[in-house]
Structure 1
């Protein structure tokens, strides 16, 4: 099966030519394919943030080969892989980056290690596998080369997965942690809408948010504008996760929050 699109997610930034080099490799191998850039501003080496961003984005993209490179272990013994999901292919390092997105695309059906030299550049840098291994693989896959041609099968149970953080939801109380922080300073939590419902929180509920050594009063709301300017809002974001925001400001800056911080929300009835 061939694909018209390759989606591309990295922590490369845009100050250097890394992204263009990878896109150029794809264009030279499979000229008709189009590259859809998800983001190149994943915080440097933050595999967990990259995984969350990718998983929350791929369900809205066209059928594609999803190329993702957040790879602090580049050049080590970590594997490069292609994952076959029900609704697409994913290419990148086997470090926990790809599996959540594969699950969002219907689950991992097969995996293969990227070892076949015919689908790599002739010279492979120890520090730029995005250009020399992953981009060529994505281009060849988009052209219709079958995943099993790229290397030996990988036991699905051996794929690297990050442990799912635990969320505890009970009436009036929700204990969870910070999953992601976006460019607006909104703080996405691991907890979902189902957890918010289990805690009995409804729009109009008052919440006390305990995070990073601070306790702040907040409003459970449908959207930012339901709160007063500079008021803290607890809401359900576009990915179905509970999130914290400051109307007209940055919750992350106000709290000094970082990924993995523990969060306790206590709710009162409206």
Structure 2
């Protein structure tokens, strides 16, 4: 079964996780989804995992965005109809697991770190999640205890009131496009939006406006995005995360 990795680790740490997995299962196939989640941004990690896991068929998805590492939060494995999700219990995998259909939930015993030889309070990706992944590949559940529930997270929470729509910035891509969590259904019929005094006309594609001009469209995530054609909307608006409130033009 394929293994995917999604973390906020940047470089170095993912390589160590791969080393642990490969030392225990040398023929494991590991794919990096991303290690560029904003540090500690669980919401962004959950959003991007939700929009990527389904393209791998059946896989073990290891997701580590873990501001509570070393604390009271549990380490979990979620078995779904087609996948396994390995992660901290902070809502990170809930949207994906719920969509795929949760079958069983397990808490990972911290004693699993004996396989690696140590248990740090800062790198459970290496000490807990990587060995748990290797054991899943071997169908070995000896360090897993079945539990009833996990922490939930709604990545599409938004509101519409009159000519206002509120949501969250889910992701800013390398082009500076501001990807929101506001679904297309919430803005059907809108002719555009105003944010911070700037009008973003609703269009179908980037070339519908001149270079350097603002625009809004429904992007590949199926949610509302704010952009500048061949520019950086995030820098222009000075926004990267958090809540967002737009005036809707009808």
CA distance change for structure 1 residues 145 and 39 in 2, over 3 Å: closer, same or farther? same
- Identify the range of structure 1 (117-126 vs 187-196) with the bigger mean alpha-carbon deviation: 117-126
Post-superposition offset of 1:172: 5.7
Task: Describe the superposition over 1:207-261 as per-residue Cα deviations: whole angstroms up to 9, x where unpaired.
Answer: 2322xxx121122111112221111111111111111111011111111113222
Q: Does 1:196 align with 2:187?
A: yes
- Where does residue 111 of structure 1 map in the other structure? 105
Aligned to 2:242: 260
Which of residues 5, 9, 13 in structure 1 aligns to 2:6? 9
Match of 2:67 in 1: 72
Query: 5 Å matches for 1:193-232?
Result: 193-197=184-188, 200-201=189-190, 205=191, 207-210=192-195, 214-232=196-214
Residues in 1 aligned to 2:159 and 2:62: alpha-carbon distance in whole angstroms: 34
CA distance in 1, matches of 2:207, 2:98: 33
1:262 partner SS: strand
Q: 5 Å matches for 1:230-241?
A: 230-241=212-223
Q: CA RMSD in A?
A: 1.9
Q: Work out whether 1:178 is the aligned partner of 2:169.
A: yes
Checking the alignment, whether the CA contact within 8 Å between 1:184 and 1:250 is kept in structure 2 is yes
Tell me how far apart the structure 1 counterparts of residues 212 and 82 of structure 2 sit (CA, whole Å).
42
Contact 1:209 1:263 (8 Å CA) reproduced: no
- Cα displacement string for residues 3-25 of structure 1 (whole angstroms, at most 9, x for unaligned residues): 1x1000111112xx211111011
Report the alpha carbon displacement of residue 118 of structure 1 after superposing the two structures with TM: 5.1
Provide the TM-score with structure 1 as the length reference. 0.85
- Write the deviation string for residues 145-179 of structure 1: whole angstroms up to 9, x where unpaired: 35xx33222222xx112355642347865333322
Q: How many residues align?
A: 249
Tell me the distance in 2 between the aligned counterparts of 1:238 and 1:36. 21
| CA pair 222-171 structure 1, distance change in 2 beyond 3 A | farther
Contact 1:178 1:263 in 2 (8 A): no
Mark the runs of 5 or more structure 1 residues left unpaired by the alignment: none
**Judging changes above 3 Å, is the alpha-carbon distance between structure 1 residues 101 and 166 closer, same or farther for their aligned structure 2 residues?**
closer
- SS class of match (2:242): coil
Q: Which residue of 2 aligns with 1:250?
A: 232
Contact 1:8 1:66 in 2 (8 A): yes
The whole-number CA distance in structure 2 between the counterparts of 1:168 and 1:123 is: 46
Give the structure-2-normalised TM-score.
0.92
Task: Give the Cα–Cα distance (whole angstroms) in 1 for the partners of residues 102 and 135 of structure 2.
Answer: 20
